[in-house]
Amino acid sequence: MNSLKQYIELYLENRATVDENSAAPLNKLRAEALEVLERAQLPDSSCEDFEHTSINDMFAPDYGVNISRVNIPVDVASSFKCGVPNMSTLLGITVNDSFRSTSTLQGKLTDGALFMSLRAAAREKAELVERYYGSVAPLSNASVALNTLLAQDGALIYVPRGVQLSKPLQLVNIFSSPAPLAAFRRLLIVLEDDAAAQLLVCDHTQDSATDYLSSQVVEVVAGRNSSLEIIDIEESSSRTSRYSQMFVRQHDGSNVRINGTTLYGGITRNDYHIDVSGAHCSTTLNGMAICSASQHTDNHTRINHLSQHCHSTQMFKYVLDDDSKGVFSGSILVAPGASFTEAYQSNRNILASTDARMHTKPQLEIYNDDVKCSHGATTGQLDAEALFYMRTRGITEHEARTMLMQAFMTDVIDSVHIDGLSDRLRHLVELRFKGGPDALCGDCAASCRGESVVKQ
């Protein structure tokens, strides 16, 4: 079954409403997206790189879509009670797929920088949005085309030439609905030459008893000598499915750092596509996943080195317990003209139960001799000798396992450069492993039961 059919029919029945509730630069690409979708289908398990995560099956259930932009109330305070770091940030909130500004953000950005609703920006600054929207994420990708067809809002982050933001930005995505809901979210990030910004993105689910589907497309344009750090933390629910696709284009001398962390969720698939188009660029892509119960987390990365004298590093770590499943597929392409490239990739995994499964596929594709590249993957269990040593020092087995798994994640956590966030993230990881009452804001029932990623 092609799950696209229901979404195409939904759009055709409500085309006028979709266009009216959005803006011209967003509507401009819908016709092309529709043309792509009418002859395509979403990837399923028969497609390469989707063997373990069928996007077609993920989108098949009959979710509702808020075409008419009904204002769904949300208790923002409850979503902040544990997962969102208490830091000094400029905060914006997306409720399902509608952006809402906050008092911490309004009037705080200067020098022409923007952090606002994508729909509002498309109406007020149409030329800017039209220039960049859809410029990095390819419409030939069926999942991107579907998001483009139905996206009505999202967020725009724009930092003009030479502006360096002094405070991190924070975008909190919250699901809230009395009935099953699909949200088509869009995030457009543009840093012009010599600009700098830091962004924390947090995904939360208000009601863990409702089924949700998140379709998110992130487009990033990093201008010459710009610097961007993105930290993406998912703390949703076991009934939330998330498909996030991030597309990045780096120009000469840009520095992009991305960290994707899955603390809790249902079915999660994260795609990272990075084109290192300029020379002398630096790219750091790190991630970690902590999975228990029947949680499924799949990270797919693709870094294309297209120019000279560039450096990239990838590091992804997983800890899997119970019947959970982890997938990592990472590839590095070094094009013929990309001499003096240095590119490194590492995937390391711990299986905390005999029923957990990890599938890993690191790949190198090199068309140039003047490079330094490496890749590798390891999957195993906790060090038995270290556990024994800690037990002889009076540490319980549960505490010892928790401490070793926390230490396993340290280098991913330490790669975060936003002030105060690495300490907060370390605390969240500790709570997740311990299964304490505040460990999972996305699944309060599981937290109250004391479910842990390590056996008691």
Confidence of residue 173 (pLDDT cuts 50, 70, 90): very high
Q: How many CA atoms lie within 13 A of 21 on its CB side?
A: 19
Condensed to tens digits (0 to 9), the pLDDT of residues 121-151 reads: 999 999 999 999 999 999 999 999 999 999 9
Instruction: Examine the pLDDT at 68 and tell me if it is beyond 80.
Output: yes
Residues 356 and 327: beta-carbon distance below 8 Å? no
pLDDT at residue 397, rounded to an integer:
74
Confidence of residue 1 (pLDDT cuts 50, 70, 90): low
Confidence of residue 439 (pLDDT cuts 50, 70, 90): very low
Note whether residue 328 is domain-resident.
no
- From the CB of residue 214, how many other CB atoms can be counted at a distance below 10 Å? 24
Residues 169 and 27: beta-carbon distance below 8 Å? no
Note whether residue 142 is domain-resident.
yes
Task: Of 327, 273, 319, 266, give the one whose Cα is nearest residue 429.
Answer: 319
Confidence of residue 456 (pLDDT cuts 50, 70, 90): very low
Note whether residue 347 is domain-resident.
no
User: For the chain, what is the domain count?
Assistant: 2
Instruction: Examine the pLDDT at 84 and tell me if it is beyond 80.
Output: no
Domain termination residue (choose one: 247, 278, 309): 278
Q: For 207-216, 305-314, 388-397, which range has the lowest pLDDT when averaged over its residues?
A: 388-397
Q: For 57-61, 369-373, 381-385, 426-430, which range has the lowest pLDDT when averaged over its residues?
A: 381-385
Name the residue range of residue 441's domain: 389-456
Both 274 and 403 in one domain: the answer is no
Write out the chain in H/E/C secondary structure: CCCHHHHHHHHHHCHHHHHHCCCHHHHCCHHHHHHHHCCCCCCCCCCCCCCCCCHHHHHCCCCEECCCCCCCCCCHHHHCCCCCCCCCCEEEEEECCEEEECCCCCCCCCCCCEEEEHHHHHHHCHHHHHHHCCCCCCCCCHHHHHHHHHCCCCEEEEECCCCECCCCEEEEEEECCCCCEEEEEEEEEEECCCCEEEEEEEEEECCCCCCEEEEEEEEEEECCCCEEEEEEEEECCCCEEEEEEEEEEECCCCEEEEEEEEEECCEEEEEEEEEECCCCCEEEEEEEEEECCCCEEEEEEEEEECCCCCEEEEEEEEEECCCCEEEEEEEEEECCCCCCEEEEEEEEEEECCCCCEEEEEEEEEECCCCEEEEEEEEEECCCHHHHHHHHHCCCCHHHHHHHHHHHHCHHHHHCCCCCCHHHHHHHHHHHHHHCCCCCCCCCHHHHHCCCCCCCC
Q: For 157-166, 307-316, 422-431, which range has the lowest pLDDT when averaged over its residues?
A: 422-431
Instruction: Examine the pLDDT at 437 and tell me if it is beyond 60.
Output: no
pLDDT at residue 73, rounded to an integer:
75
Residue 416 identity: V
Note whether residue 377 is domain-resident.
no
Confidence of residue 88 (pLDDT cuts 50, 70, 90): confident
Condensed to tens digits (0 to 9), the pLDDT of residues 280-314 reads: 999 999 999 999 999 999 999 999 999 999 999 99
Write out 261-310 in H/E/C secondary structure: EEEECCEEEEEEEEEECCCCCEEEEEEEEEECCCCEEEEEEEEEECCCCC
Q: What is the mean pLDDT of residues 267-285?
A: 98
Both 120 and 260 in one domain: the answer is yes
Both 393 and 274 in one domain: the answer is no
pLDDT at residue 101, rounded to an integer:
83
Residues 116 and 153: beta-carbon distance below 8 Å? no
Residues 26 and 119: beta-carbon distance below 8 Å? yes
Both 52 and 190 in one domain: the answer is yes
Confidence of residue 438 (pLDDT cuts 50, 70, 90): very low
Residues 112 and 151: beta-carbon distance below 8 Å? no
Confidence of residue 29 (pLDDT cuts 50, 70, 90): very high
Instruction: Examine the pLDDT at 338 and tell me if it is beyond 80.
Output: yes
Higher pLDDT, 244 or 208: 244
Instruction: Examine the pLDDT at 152 and tell me if it is beyond 70.
Output: yes
Instruction: Examine the pLDDT at 75 and tell me if it is beyond 80.
Output: no
pLDDT at residue 393, rounded to an integer:
77
Note whether residue 151 is domain-resident.
yes
Q: Please, what's the largest Cα pairwise distance for the chain?
A: 70
Task: Of 39, 31, 40, 36, give the one whose Cα is nearest residue 12.
Answer: 31
Question: Which residues contact residue 107 at a Cβ distance below 8 angstroms, ignoring those fewer than 6 apart?
Answer: none
Both 273 and 415 in one domain: the answer is no
Q: Global pTM? A: 0.93
* Residues linked to residue 411 through DSSP beta bridges, in sequence order: none
Angle between helices 30-37 and 4-13 (to 10 degrees): 140
pLDDT at residue 403, rounded to an integer:
82
Domain termination residue (choose one: 256, 278, 300): 278
Domain termination residue (choose one: 245, 278, 311): 278
Confidence of residue 409 (pLDDT cuts 50, 70, 90): very high
Number of residues that make up the chain = 456
Confidence of residue 110 (pLDDT cuts 50, 70, 90): confident
Note whether residue 114 is domain-resident.
yes
What percentage of residues in the chain have a pLDDT greater than 90? 78
What percentage of residues in the chain have a pLDDT greater than 70? 92
pLDDT at residue 78, rounded to an integer:
60
The residue whose two tokens read 């999972």 is 440
Note whether residue 383 is domain-resident.
no
Task: Of 258, 284, 279, 274, give the one whose Cα is nearest residue 333.
Answer: 274
Q: What is the mean pLDDT of residues 348-369?
A: 94
pLDDT at residue 455, rounded to an integer:
46
Note whether residue 69 is domain-resident.
yes
Q: What is the mean pLDDT of residues 100-108?
A: 84
Both 270 and 401 in one domain: the answer is no
